[in-house]
Chain A
């Protein structure tokens, strides 16, 4: 590809006390592309991506958005650059309802500087209707919602704010087949809009079907990145488990 990558993560390092969790990982993402980030538990894939989402700022390394160097030290910084994250645990406040969660941290205010709950409910309803037309009771507390509905709220939050870069951490882990299909459809649509997506997962099969490229991380190092059309699942499995690169064509 000759265009500027949407995201470049260069030589990312992260240490937790004595543990060197991420050792010089390089990742990039182009517009309209889905990159699957794979690895076994504790491989360092979540920590690497959290450097991009601002949840765990990196110790060393550089992040470039559209070719320009940026500094991401908090989730707020990440949002500024159009990076939205859908966390594995969804990061929803159970006692609040869907519109309140959707706009958490970015509330719509009235002219007097107070919360405009009606406007937020209105906007939330519009975007959630697009994603999940059966989801009617958006003003119930999130703790009373099903897994799929909670997922819709988390996804709605990411797309409402016009993410250019979407990070999905184990998006289908808690979903049934119908909801997984819905997520797949959404990803296809976002790709067509030029949004770049990082998909973190340990489920090789789901990721393989949805991604254009896969990056495998093992023990904090990047083993390699391959286009999904150029490798087989077994070869990727070899990368994940043994750290063995497939024979290149």
Chain B
């Protein structure tokens, strides 16, 4: 009976060879295919409502809050920790932002809303750092600290205004939430598309040049061009879709929503952090083997505390978008958001054992979950049933991961 392992090694399928040449992670590809499959199915089930510009626009905005926090959660989970407090942090920093904007600073002043945003981000960072200090320097497990944070900061959110909702927010500030005026319009959306495509071209060329300089193998030209073409098509398709959604009762295209732009900026920054900084490298090293990291001279404690600080800042960003979208500060904002954020990161390929995970994967995970939720809403499925379905999807996604890793050499 031929050894099955032997067979796998000998017959490497053509597709996998192709993927390796293009250097596309096959798990990422599987996620993209799953997303497309979900979209196509939902579109069919909702008689074409799912693919309307209006629905996709709203989908994009709704994914952004979870997506932004999920990028931070990837780093937390990669270094073998967890952060259960993100929803409460969102609520608390959101309440403080709203309170400062409406009751403390003079509403309508030009410096008001930028200052409150700064305060919110700093507050998020400080709380994150505080939690990180307990975890890294005092050795209390992150599960416990962040569980305490979940309870404490939800309470604190209530205490800011004794439970009263704070509204309305500054008119300019509301743009950040992606409402009627919360998008950048057709012109700027196309400018954005051109900038992105130009960046893709430049990155491709410099990468090729650097490979040749060091004598490494370069991807075959046709694959490179194909990938660029696909990328450009996706960017243009996205912009066309966002432009197709018009402002109410007008022909004015909305363009890319501001929260999505913010999410894209966050994704770019977090990706850079992960891939080209020492900090990112060390987070992954700590996740892979904390002892080896320590012996290599890495300041494990400092880096761990910083990871939680970054997570806190991202919660602040998410709070800004949430309060802007609600046009209010409500102390229930972000309740149970941590579960969606962790699920997004995990569906996106982040392993709870640590050491593995990608930022792009987390965004895909957030979009997949939001698509399912949004599709089910369109189908009139109750909130309770939706929870059952999302939970099931989470199990399937992680089980898929377990099987996938088991079968690799």
Contacts and interface: CB of A to CB of B under 8 A. Distances in A.
Interface of A: 55, 74-76, 79, 85, 87, 89-96, 100-101, 104-107, 109, 114-115, 118-119, 121-122, 144
Given A95-B288, A104-B285, 5 more contacts: A79-B297, A95-B287, A109-B278, A115-B275, A144-B409
A91 B287 contact: no
B78 to A, nearest CB: 9
B356 A95 contact: yes
Given A95-B288, A95-B355, A95-B356, A104 B298 contact: yes
Say what secondary structure dominates the interface of chain A. loop
B128 to A, nearest CB: 24
Given A93-B289, A95-B356, A115-B277, A75 B297 contact: yes
A94 B214 CA distance: 25
Interface of B: 210-211, 213-216, 275-278, 281, 284-285, 287-289, 291-298, 355-356, 409
B276 A55 contact: no
Contact of A114 (B276, B284, B296, B355): B276
B275 to A, nearest CB: 8
Contacts, number: 73
Nearest to A77: B297
Contact of B214 (A76, A85, A100, A119): A119
Contact of A104 (B276, B296, B355): B296
Contact of A93 (B215, B292, B297): B292
B353 to A, nearest CB: 10
Contacts of A92: 289, 292
- Which 10 pairs of residues, A with B, have the shortest CB-CB distance? A93-B288, A105-B296, A95-B355, A95-B288, A114-B276, A91-B292, A76-B297, A105-B297, A104-B296, A93-B289
Which residue, A90, A96, A106, has most C-beta atoms of chain B within 10 A? Answer: A96
16 contacts: A55-B295, A75-B297, A85-B295, A91-B289, A93-B293, A94-B288, A94-B289, A95-B288, A104-B292, A104-B293, A105-B296, A105-B297, A109-B278, A115-B281, A119-B214, A121-B216
Nearest to B292: A91
